[in-house]
Structure formats: C-alpha cells, structure tokens
Amino acid sequence: MTFQLALFGHPVKHSLSPQIQQNFAQQFNLKINYQLIDVRGDQLIQKVHEFFDQGGHGANITVPHKQSIMTVTDHLTERAQQAGAVNTLFKKKQQLWGDNTDGAGLLNDFNDKNISIKNKRILIIGAGGAVQGVLPNMVQSQPKSIHISNRTLKKAEKLAQSSNLCHALSDTPINTSFDVIINAPSLGHQGQSPDLEPEWLSLNTIAYDLSYRAAAQPFLTKCKSMGIQQSYDGIGMLHHQAALAFALWFNHIPKQPLNDKFRTNY
Ligand code: ATR
C-alpha cells in the first residue's frame, strides 16, 4: 500500500519535504507518495478536505496557511493551541487533528548542536508566524530572557505578552549581549539581513536562522562579518520537525541526522 501525504502551502515548489519524507519512509520500508499542493487561501479548506476524503494519510501545512488551517481541524493538540499555528495534520479515529512540530523540531536541533538555552539571554528578530510557532517551546526551556525585535514593535509587544520571560526590544539600549540570536523575518528570501547592533554580540554569541540554505545566507554572512563564530541555518530544524510529523503519521521515529547531502555547514 502507498500512503498518500502532502504539503499544502504557497509557494511549495522548492520544498525539501518530499525528499526528507521519502528518506524516512525508506528507513521503515514504507511506500509513500508525498505531493506538493500549491494552494491559495480561498481554496485551502476545499483542497484539504478533498485530500483526506480521497484517502490522504497525513499532511504538512506551510506558509501562509499555518493559522487559517486551524479552522479545518476537528481537534488541536496542546502544542498547536499554544503555538496558535498548525504545521501537521493527522487522522485519529476518523477525526482530523492539527499539531505543531516546529518548536520541538527547533529544540531537537539545538540539542544536536549542544546549544542549551536554559538560563540564557535570547534575542529573536522577527515577530511573524514562524516566531509565534516556536515561542512556547522556547519559553518552556526556561531561558533567562527572550527579547523580541521586530520592524513593527506592536507585534513584538503582543508576542511578548505570552510570558513574563519575554520582552519587546525597543530602541532603549541594552547593556548585556545575547547568548543566542535567532533570525526569523522573511527578509532573507529577498536577499537581505536585518541590522545587528554591535552591543548585541559577544565572542560567544550563537546565531541561528530559522530559514535554510540561500534564504539564511544574508544573515549568517552578516554574523560572520561581525565576528560571530558559531552560526547555523535551520536545515536541522526542518529535518526534526519533519521527523516529528512522520512519527505522528506512522508511529515510528526516523533516525536523525540524515545523510550529509541534506546538511549545510557554515
Ligand atoms: P513567517 O511565517 O515567515 O514568520 P510572517 O508571519 O509574514 O512570515 O512574518 C514576517 C516577519 O518578517 C515579520 O516579523 C515582519 O515584520 P513586520 O511584523 O514588521 O511585518 C518581518 N519582515 C518582513 N519584511 C521585512 C522587512 N523588509 N524589514 C524588516 N522586517 C521584515
């Protein structure tokens, strides 16, 4: 039997998910067909229903539908509720569930890289859907503080309300550098990096971009030019969120990391 899987989003054509999921499936001798379904908002609900009515086994959801898909599901897991976003759909007892594996995927990748955020000072740049999705898991890891910097300060302030560990970063100077800086605005897709203030950085600051490959390059290049020695793109997070989705669909946890052809080194 071939299990039908799909990614719904816009755009989806450059997604690595089909290769990643094929690799996982081979680890367990499972046959899958992972389709990329490019869909705009007004078609999303209909297309998702069609997919599952025709025997779809599970799906991933990506930008820009991670929030709007929440109206389609019968149930949401606790972490999807906390994140306010869904990236994985699975069936249980004929009911459609929405979950979010992004935050756990990020923490699993930190774990692979021996990055501990407990008691650390964190800066997140960006306050969009990607940040909203990972923030609850980051807060649960008990960092010392999470500052959120965003072009639109109000959005950073709104996200920061979720926990007393979080603060919106305004123009007020800060007097200590950050241990970990996470980049999450969609700017990298336009070949740009956000500005970084020298006082944010120390020799030990770790930089991490939630996007991967070309989209992460502008930020990671800037970090290097400012002396940051440890910087990563989000390819590891991508694999981990995919592995957690696979586990929801098949009850098997695939091996991580995958082979080197998927890895990006800086
Ligand atoms: P995603 O799901 O990838 O997070 P999103 O929800 O559209 O996408 O959020 C995009 C993020 O990138 C936001 O933080 C946005 O800042 P605003 O809240 O001010 O819109 C940020 N962003 C996008 N373009 C930007 C730009 N040219 N300069 C600075 N920040 C930008």
pLDDT of residue 266: 38
Closest CA to 105 of 181, 23, 17: 17
pLDDT of residue 208: 98
Whether 66 is catalytic:
yes
Judge if the beta carbon of residue 126 lies within 6 A of ligand 1.
yes
pLDDT of residue 263: 53
Which domains occur in the chain, in start order?
A: 2-102+238-250 (3.40.50.10860), 114-235 (3.40.50.720)
Judge if the beta carbon of residue 149 lies within 6 A of ligand 1.
no
The residue type of 157 is E
Distance of CA 172 from the midpoint of ligand 1 (Å): 21
pLDDT of residue 172: 73
Q: Which of 13, 31, 47, 66 is catalytic?
A: 66
Radius of gyration (C-alpha) of the chain in whole angstroms: 18
Judge if the beta carbon of residue 159 lies within 6 A of ligand 1.
no
pLDDT of residue 198: 93
pLDDT of residue 186: 86
From first to last of its 266 residues, the chain has per-residue pLDDT tens of 999 999 999 999 989 999 999 999 999 999 999 999 999 999 999 999 999 999 999 999 999 999 999 999 999 999 999 999 999 999 999 999 999 999 999 999 999 999 999 999 999 999 998 999 999 999 999 999 999 999 999 999 999 999 999 999 987 778 789 999 999 988 998 999 999 999 999 999 999 999 999 999 999 999 999 999 999 999 999 999 999 999 999 999 998 755 544 554 43
pLDDT of residue 212: 93
Judge if the beta carbon of residue 9 lies within 6 A of ligand 1.
no
